[in-house]
Amino acid sequence: MFFISASDIIKKPSYVTQPKEITFVEDAKRHVIKSVILPYDLYEKIREKLEDEIYLMQNKEALSQKNYESFLEIEEAGAEDLQ
């Protein structure tokens, strides 16, 4: 793992365009990680998991337990009507 700041990216763009390892971009003043840069081959390995997590984050409210239970009630009624 490698830590850089935004000014390092300006000085050496290859940190972003050709990363060789997982790179953390941090705020230079507060030393708080703001972004993560992954090498493409690593990204390909974890792509599906990342997409699943992004989907869950974007649909957090729709996928809440309460909404899920109400969906099941509607879904069961619809399936029974077809039989």
pLDDT digits (tens, 9 = 90+) for 36-82: 999 999 999 999 998 988 887 787 777 677 777 776 676 554 444 44
26 compared with 68, residue with greater pLDDT: 26
29, two tokens = 């003043």
Domain boundaries, the chain: 1-37, 40-83
Beta bridge partners of 24: 3, 36
- pLDDT, residue 11, reads 93
**Using CA atoms, how far apart are residues 39 and 18, in angstroms rounded to an integer?**
7
